[in-house]
Amino acid sequence: MDVQRKLEILADAAKYDASCASSGTEKRDSSDGKGMGSTAPGMGICHSYAPDGRCISLLKVLLTNACNYDCLYCVNRASSNVPRARFTIDEVVKLTLDFYRRNYIEGLFLSSGIIRSPDYTMEQVVGVARKLREDHHFRGYIHLKTIPEADDALIAEAGKYADRLSINIEMPEATSLQQFAPEKDVRAIRRTMGRLRLKLDEAEEARRAKTRTRPHRFAPAGQSTQMIVGADSANDHTILHTSANLYGSYRLRRVYYSAFSPIPDASRALPLVRPPLLREHRLYQADWLMRFYGFDVGEIVDDSAMLPLDIDPKLAWALRHRDRFPLDVNSASREELLRVPGFGTKAVERIIATRRTTTIRLSDLARLHVPKHKALPFIVLSDHQPSPHRLDEARLIERFKPKATQLGFGF
């Protein structure tokens, strides 16, 4: 099989992993004249976008899509009839360097099906990173999938070469993981996430200590995970509760939500419908509210409930807490402003800087990049006061729902 055909199979096998981030790592470049590559300061770089709207930042492939496990939701499960392929370590290294040199990618995201044993698989994955870093002095971004239960020495080596490590939690609940992925063990996954965090903390402390000896390096872009949404019956509260737990327990940089999408040769046990993309989007919004807007899971969604699909979770919260509004934009605290529908973190910073010098008026909202339509019922400005009845109106929600479109009289 030629490398191009392998690439097709092994990229196709990798595309259900949503992460493609190349951000948040240490600053590196090759200006010392040795090797090639650099990292983008701050945010990563998306070198292309596929028609699914997803960023293409890394060469995202599996080392092999042969797998011992039979996880029902997975395109690579042992019982699937998809064609199988396996890259050699050198093939992946060469592809990465060839693509990188042409500025197609920021680096490599390497994962693998489990073959032989967790340690053997992890050793192969680490082997690619080792070769890129040690033999070719590659300074670009590397994201490695960590195999739960892999030996500690292998994990330490993975962290030495990689910018980011990840282990997918896969399902929001242990019970569904047991049902859909009988060979996977949520305890082993969490234990390994815990091991990663201890190593991340250790490297962080060493960096802060500022000793003369170079601190031992461990995945400067941290760890992330992914949850599949819509394959099992877990509700949004359960999903977000799990996320909050993972963020708190293992200091994850990101939890990715991946709407379960039809795969070639799918299992009978799973819902073969269009992926719930809107639900996925609402979960990301809720996730942002937890991480950057000071919301708790319990505030965003009630026990065993779902997020509304027609309006965003912050607006839904505001409509449930109308007694807290309207809020005076010229005097409210940062925490309060962050809870106004339509106010993003950057808009809030701009508002706070601006109001030190001048008062904010209705006509200023556009320059602050605040969507007027969404925010107006909830705020007071020096020349705007929402009608006192408006917030009490039961019909207020109608204002925000997407306009119903007539289905038409096609003939």
Range 83-122, binding another protein (CB under 8 A): 95, 98-99, 101-104, 114, 116-119
Least distance between another protein and beta carbon 49 (Å): 4
**Positions 234 through 253 that interact with another protein (CB under 8 A):** 244-245, 247-251
Tokens 């240490």 sit on residue: 26
Nearest to 112 by CA among 124, 129, 94, 95: 124
Least distance between another protein and beta carbon 195 (Å): 7
Query: Given candidates 1, 54, 135, 306, which one binds another protein under the rule CB under 8 A?
Result: 54
Q: Is the dihedral of CA 327, 333, 334, 336 positive or negative?
A: negative
**Positions 380 through 409 that interact with another protein (CB under 8 A):** none
**Positions 331 through 390 that interact with another protein (CB under 8 A):** 350-351, 353-354, 356-358, 360-361, 364, 367-368
Under 8 Å between Cβ of 155 and 122: yes
Least distance between another protein and beta carbon 328 (Å): 16
Under 8 Å between Cβ of 256 and 247: no
Residue 55 or 89 having the CB closest to another protein:
55
Number of residues that bind another protein (CB under 8 A): 100
Residue 29 is a binding residue for another protein (CB under 8 A): yes
Q: What whole-number distance in Å separates Cα of residue 53 and Cα of residue 97?
A: 25
What secondary structure does DSSP assign to 298-336, as a single string?
Answer: HHHS-TT----SSS-HHHHHHHHTGGG-SEETTT--HHH
Least distance between another protein and beta carbon 29 (Å): 4
Residue 125 or 348 having the CB closest to another protein:
348
Q: What whole-number distance in Å separates Cα of residue 383 and Cα of residue 203?
A: 53
Query: Given candidates 26, 134, 205, 265, which one binds another protein under the rule CB under 8 A?
Result: 265
Residue 141 or 325 having the CB closest to another protein:
141
Least distance between another protein and beta carbon 9 (Å): 8
Residue 205 is a binding residue for another protein (CB under 8 A): no
**Positions 138 through 177 that interact with another protein (CB under 8 A):** 149, 174
Nearest to 149 by CA among 187, 97, 116: 187
Under 8 Å between Cβ of 186 and 242: no
Query: Given candidates 134, 191, 202, 278, which one binds another protein under the rule CB under 8 A?
Result: 191
Nearest to 279 by CA among 306, 317, 316, 318: 306
- Amino acid identity, position 184: K
Query: Given candidates 21, 25, 37, 150, which one binds another protein under the rule CB under 8 A?
Result: 37
Residue 206 is a binding residue for another protein (CB under 8 A): no
Residue 309 is a binding residue for another protein (CB under 8 A): no
Under 8 Å between Cβ of 269 and 315: no
